[in-house]
Chain A
Amino acid sequence: MAALLEMKEIEKSFNGSPVLKKVDFSVEPGEVHALMGENGAGKSTLIKILTGIYPKDGGQIYWNGNPVTVDNRKDAASLGIGVIYQELSLIPTLTVMQNVMLGKEQSKLGFVNAKKMKQKVTELIEKYGFAVKADEVVETLTIAQRQTVEILKALSEESKLIIMDEPTASLSAKESDALFDIIEQLRKDGVSVIYISHRLEEVYRLSDRLTVLRDGETEAVLTKEQINPADVVRLMIGKELSEATASNSLRKSDAPVRLKVDGLTKKGVFHNIGFEIHEGEIVGFAGLVGAGRTEVMRCIYGADPYDAGTVEFEGKPLSKQITKNIGIGFGFVPEDRRNQGFTPLLSIEKNVALTNYDTLAKNGFVKAAAEKKLGVDMVERLAIKPGDSQIPVGNLSGGNQQKAVLAKWLSRDLKLLIIDEPTAGIDIGAKDEIYKILEKLAENGTSVIMVSSDLQELLRVSQRIIVMRKGEVFTEFSSGRITQEDVLMAESGILTKEGEADE
């Protein structure tokens, strides 16, 4: 029996640097095939080629043994490839039925046959035992329910292959279980699933086969019997890399406590979070997407409200107002750089100055010379390229944009910097520079909280690593030799080393 899908020697490079180097990948009918790899391994690119979002540079895709071309989403859909997107693509104010049938309504003279469509959708729902009703409005559903609507959408198109990209990222344990049951059903029904996830336990439980990608190459294809978490992690990271990036520098700090968080809770988002940050310490926050790290940091900073718990800064309760917190030495570099980090139309100088008008202005008037000097100084100090403080930040490369965002805070007397995904989408050279900046800050007594999904980065920069999982602090690494495997396993809820839980 021929494979349902076969991708052979797929190649892709962006701006000359190869991302996929002759990758082979195949899916059998009715199998759940997990696709794993570190960030940057090429998973998303491979899927985007399969669904026609990116054109491939080389290689061939076969469907049921026949060579096919997939130039756009429509091609993919007509073959029978459905995708469940991470950012759900439903219409919130329409009903489940309308969403499932959107763009392919059964109609006569423009009038839709709601009865027939409802019947069809209800049949599908009953067949798989989904916990939604056809005439519920999507915006009133939980995220898990919305996901099942997405799956319904794919099923209604008679998809033979459904791609799920981190589907459990924002689901609770129970909801995840329900999803696994659905996947089980799909398998029985002969529908294949490509399951992309960082969550080892899920992959372990679900998949018939597993393909590991590393640095744009197929590292291994494992069958169900061969899958065991430790091996998979090792394959994902690679032995040499694992050794080379292990951290020996984890340590506890004796310096006074600067930030103390206790019992911090936001309903449905995170629960009973507690930790301490000392002066001059860099603490990394590890966790999978949806673990609640970003949300915790935003609440501490004052950007979002929280429901319960206390935050103390140098022994005093912390204000919930951003402006006040900046006044006592907070800095915040958000995850979503483009939408929250900077004002794209404004120059580097003006962006940097934005947080500094307490010193750059007198009686409301800007001291233009000082403002300009700060811009020039920062461009020089952080080696922002091109070296002109008058260039709009929107025109810079990702790395330089991030430096510009950092520059907002560096001229201040910073006591605590919260930095979320400091190097996402940044090239290696700029990464190193940013690490050096963070290390220098810590040397000068600034405490740094670094949320990151990049394991190498966490191990390289952090003095302690706090691992969050499903809205709670799972464990903390603060001594001994820690490898990427250890962190990755902890993120999935498996403790390899005795981590010291908080208190």
Chain B
Amino acid sequence: MRQENMRRLISVASLVVLALVFGFTSSGFFTATNILSILRECAITGIIAIGVSFVIITAGIDLSTGAAVGFVSMLCANFLYYYALPAELIMLISILAGTLCGVLNGFIVTKLRVPEFIATLSTQYLFRSMVFVFAIRESGVITNKKITDPGILIMGGSINGIYLVTITFFALAIVGQLILKKTKLGTYIYATGSNRKSADLSGINTDKVRWTVFIITGFLCGIAAIFEIGRIGSATTDLGTGLEFEVIAAVVIGGCAFSGGRGDIFGTAVGAIFMAVLQNGILKYNLPTAAQLIIKGVVIVIMIVFDSVYNQYMQKRIQQKSNQDTQMAGGEA
């Protein structure tokens, strides 16, 4: 079996196992409402994870996505409250602001040559800071104002029980998969992450590729922010805190390797659903929040370690196989 398919199978299998565990040990897991709600919960993480998959396939990382969503959401809430802009314009602003976050990340990484993780960690502080800059205040105190614009609130709604955000997620995932597998950009993304030097030698502008994936991620953060405020109906200052980690965990569980060049959006979508199932299932046990956090954290750590071990093992096997083939061929020497 091809390694890609093998890895996909593992992602799906771990999702199935997890779902079965919850299905048998808690009540009300395998119901239509619950499944729809899981698909809703996975969508925000999933949308951003599409972009972060691109980044990780180029062997980069983006730690700023949670803060970017927080910042963009607050920006939108701010403009809605103070200027009462129409919903369409707010959405445009959201996407634009998100994209700009991506542009900034890409600039710092490719032009200033700051390593991805430190660059996006520092922009995380920046975006988090911007949240407070744009926070709505009443006599100097940050106040959480309800969003009343129906055009925004409808984004948190559903059609025939299927949430808009879920539909958007699946649509974007398909587009993402198409980009990766069917376009030049997709091939270049793999090439950049798998062997940057060779990609450069083949005439690919890898810096441009790396910048592009950050911009795509920012763009998706903008989209995610719209759904986030649409669902919650307001923007709090800690919105999006820790989201970047959920996203990265989803991507890793879905089979994108940090060394770059491996993984796809199919896996990432599975990973996002895995994260949502995990969250949803743990909630059903009625445990204290602290215990939930710990269990969730431990499961993620196990998945991360497994992924790393699996990658090492595959690498070794490939190496051995190629060595053995050489030896077999050389047997008659």
Contacts and interface: CB of A to CB of B under 8 A. Distances in A.
Direct contact of A and B (CB under 8 A): yes
Interface of A: 73-74, 89-94, 98, 102-105, 107, 110-112, 114, 137, 139-144, 170-175, 267-269, 470-471
Contacts of B261: 91-94
B185 A110 contact: yes
Given A173-B329, A267-B323, 7 more contacts: A94-B191, A94-B261, A105-B187, A110-B185, A112-B187, A172-B331, A174-B329
16 contacts: A89-B198, A89-B202, A91-B261, A103-B202, A105-B187, A110-B185, A112-B183, A137-B3, A143-B322, A143-B326, A174-B332, A175-B330, A268-B326, A268-B327, A269-B323, A471-B330
B146 interface: no
Interface in B172-212: 182-185, 187, 190-191, 193-195, 197-199, 201-204
Contacts of A102: 187, 191, 199, 202, 204
B194 A98 contact: no
A140 B185 CA distance: 24
B321 interface: yes
B187 A171 contact: no
Interface residues of B, number: 36
Q: Which 6 A-B pairs have the closest CB atoms?
A: A172-B330, A268-B323, A173-B333, A103-B202, A93-B261, A268-B327
B2 interface: yes
B325 interface: yes
B182 A90 contact: no
B192 to A, nearest CB: 9
A74 B203 contact: yes
A104 B202 CA distance: 9
Nearest to A173: B333
A173 B326 CA distance: 9
B262 interface: yes
Contacts of B193: 93
Given A91-B198, A93-B262, A94-B191, A103 B204 contact: yes
A137 B325 CA distance: 16
A491 to B, nearest CB: 15
A140 B321 contact: yes
A94 B327 contact: no
A204 to B, nearest CB: 18
A174 B3 contact: no
B333 A172 contact: yes
**Dominant secondary structure of chain A at its interface with chain B:** loop
Nearest to B262: A93
A98 B194 CA distance: 13
Contacts of B185: 110
A305 to B, nearest CB: 12
Nearest to A136: B2
B203 A107 contact: no
A154 to B, nearest CB: 12
A114 B330 CA distance: 35
B324 interface: yes
B182 A112 contact: yes
Contacts of A471: 330
A185 B217 CA distance: 48
Interface string B70-87: 000000000000000000
B318 interface: yes
A89 B191 CA distance: 11
A205 to B, nearest CB: 15
B324 A268 contact: yes
Contacts of A173: 329-330, 332-333
Given A90-B198, A103-B204, A470 B184 contact: no
B194 A144 contact: no
Nearest to B322: A142
Given A74-B203, A90-B195, A267 B327 contact: yes
Contacts of A175: 326, 329-330
Nearest to A153: B202
Given A142-B326, A267-B323, A267-B324, A89 B201 contact: yes
Given A94-B194, A172-B329, A174-B333, A111 B204 contact: no
Nearest to B314: A139
A144 B193 CA distance: 24
A103 B190 CA distance: 12
Listed residue (A112, A143, A471) with the most chain B CB atoms within 10 angstroms of its CB: A112
Nearest to B178: A111
B26 to A, nearest CB: 39
B329 A110 contact: no
A410 to B, nearest CB: 36
Given A73-B201, A140-B318, A172 B183 contact: no
A111 B178 CA distance: 9
Contacts of A103: 202-204
Contacts of A111: 182-184
B318 A91 contact: no
A98 B202 CA distance: 12
Contacts of B322: 140-143
Nearest to A170: B326
Interface in B78-102: none
Contacts of A114: 182
Contacts of A94: 187, 190-191, 194, 261
